[in-house]
Amino acid sequence: MKSKIRVVVRVRPQLPAEKTHSCETLQLGNHTVRLGVTDSSQKEFRFDHVLGPSATQKEVYDTAGVAQSIASVLEGYHATLFAYGQTGSGKTYTMEGFEYERIASKASERASTKAKIDVASDRLGIVPRVILELFDALKTAAVIKNKAYRVKSSFVQIYNEQILDLFNPSSKQSVRSRRCDSAFLTNERGRFRCLKLRWAADQEFFVEDLTMVDSASGEEMLLKFTEGVKDKIMATTNMNAASSRSHCIYTIYVESIDLENPSLVTTTKLCLVDLAGSERIVKTGATGVTLQESIGINKSLFVLRQVIQVLSDEANMNPTGQNAVAKTHVPYRDSKLTSLLKHSLGGNSITVMIVCLSPSDLCYEENLSTLQYAARAQQISNTPVKNAGEAHKVLVQQLRDTIQSLHAQLAEVHTVVDRRRAD
């Protein structure tokens, strides 16, 4: 079956600093966004849903059909939800809902932020809500479908084209020096082990040695997620007091076991993606490390837009979905981000895109660019395929789990050895 990418637009409220400027260029309908001041200059875009500044976190969750995405995963399909927009447009708030506070910095260091996890339940974003709702859905499905479920998760950030594991405590150790090599990346937050991107026919692109964490309850999984959030690389810029300096991909894996035939295991995944925002360096005032991060973010988003453009052009050339254009090159491999999102864009995932906009007229050009690519994205057709249970995958997964455990133990040994050498 064919499934087009669903697009939901969210416009955040004005920030205090924006209230001295006008907010006249955005006009919202239930399914339309008009951008421009005069009728002759206005550009109109049509999407699945459009939500204004008064929308609550729950309204965004419900309107985006996140519950349906969870249901699809339990039915055997992969699903993806990703937030896209310029820096400071509300993507991280939409996905997490946590507050971020500024960290006092020395004169020689840049200003940064840290997450405040303890927030009111109505502020919780999509990821915490998914985690808690998923386990409720699993309890019901286990009875109705006579199945047992195992839930795992992984959490990575893509920082300057390096894949960093936010779940592996042995991959990060605090050091004072600032250096980088092929295996590690060091910044003011610590020393992170860089993971490798691999390709396999049965998995497509995957991250080698990625930590998978089992969870028996929503509370347990949410606690682990919040621990990972605290290690995200953040900074303060002129455009965003709590700016993500990396793309974050949180993936939930659901293994379903048919109790009438326990050797059959079906594995599906739900990818929840908080993209770093596109940045105009003149506006952000980025310098030094922050400038290099901005360049890295913009490069990877440029590739993402290229992928969206190629796929939407292909869809326009072949609107019926029949006789696909031969050998169209889609540049997935040009960035780590698009490699890992290959199944979400033109692949076998049911995908929802949440487009975040600023209401300020100062962001007219950024809003226009965001809306143009969102309009292209909704032309893309994916081909979701129901994953079938396979008996041999049980043994394969057991072997992979064993290898992963051994790698983790080895990393811990290396950490102890490094510390003793440092002493």
* CA geometry: angle 262, 267, 273, nearest 5 deg: 155
29 annotated ligand binder? no
d(CA 402, CA 410): 12
Residue 169 has pLDDT above 80, yes or no: no
In angstroms, rounded to a whole number, what is the distance separating the alpha carbons of residues 107 and 110?
Answer: 8
Name the nearest CA neighbour of 208 among 400, 347, 348, 394: 400
Stretch 202-230: mean pLDDT: 92
Model confidence at 174, pLDDT cuts 50, 70, 90, reads very low
Domains: count for the chain: 1
Q: What is the pLDDT of residues 348-388, one digit of tens each?
A: 999 999 999 999 998 999 999 999 999 999 999 999 999 87
pLDDT band at 399 (very low <50, low <70, confident <90, very high): low
> Is pLDDT above 90 for 234?
no
At 85, is the secondary structure helix, strand, or coil? Answer: strand
Residue 186 predicted with pLDDT over 70: no
**Pairing between strand 349-357 and 6-11?**
parallel
**Per mean pLDDT, which range of 18-22, 39-43, 396-400 is the poorest?**
396-400
Dist CA 200 CA 319 (whole Å): 30
Categorize the per-residue pLDDT at 211 as very low, low, confident or very high, splitting at 50, 70 and 90: very high
The percent of residues above 70 in pLDDT, for the chain, comes to: 82
For 54-65, write each residue's pLDDT tens digit.
999 999 999 999
Question: In 3-state terms, what secondary structure has residue 357?
Answer: strand
**H/E segment holding residue 156:** strand 147-159
Amino acid occupying residue 186: T
Structure tokens at 265: 């295991």
Distance CA 186, CA 177 (A): 8
Instruction: Give the domain range for residue 416.
Output: 3-422
pLDDT digit string (tens) for 288-340? 777 888 788 889 999 999 999 999 999 888 766 555 545 689 999 999 999 99
User: Rounded distance, CA 408 to CA 402, Å?
Assistant: 10
228 is in an annotated binding site: no
Q: Do the annotations mark residue 322 as ligand-binding?
A: no
Q: In this structure, what token pair is assigned to residue 45? A: 């875009």
Residue 162 assigned to a binding site: no
Residue 177 has pLDDT above 60, yes or no: no
Q: Classify 364 as helix, strand or coil.
A: helix
Task: Please state the pTM of the whole predicted model.
Answer: 0.85
pLDDT at 112 over 80: no
Write b or e for each residue in 218-252: b if 16 or more Cβ atoms lie within 10 A of its Cβ, otherwise e: beebbebbbebbebbbbbbbebbbbbbbbbbbbbb
Known binder of ligand: residue 92? yes
Confidence of residue 22 (pLDDT cuts 50, 70, 90): confident
What are 243-298's pLDDT values in tens digits?
Answer: 678 999 999 999 999 888 887 889 999 999 999 987 676 666 667 777 888 788 88
Predicted local confidence at residue 396, as pLDDT: 60
Question: What is the C-alpha to C-alpha distance for residues 62 and 95, in angstroms, rounded to an integer?
Answer: 13
- pLDDT for the residue 176: 30
* CATH number of the domain bearing residue 312: 3.40.850.10
- Picking from 86-95, 197-206, 411-420, which range would have the lowest pLDDT averaged per residue? 411-420
Pull the structure tokens for residue 359.
């209401």
* Dist CA 99 CA 114 (whole Å): 8
Residue 91 assigned as binding residue = yes
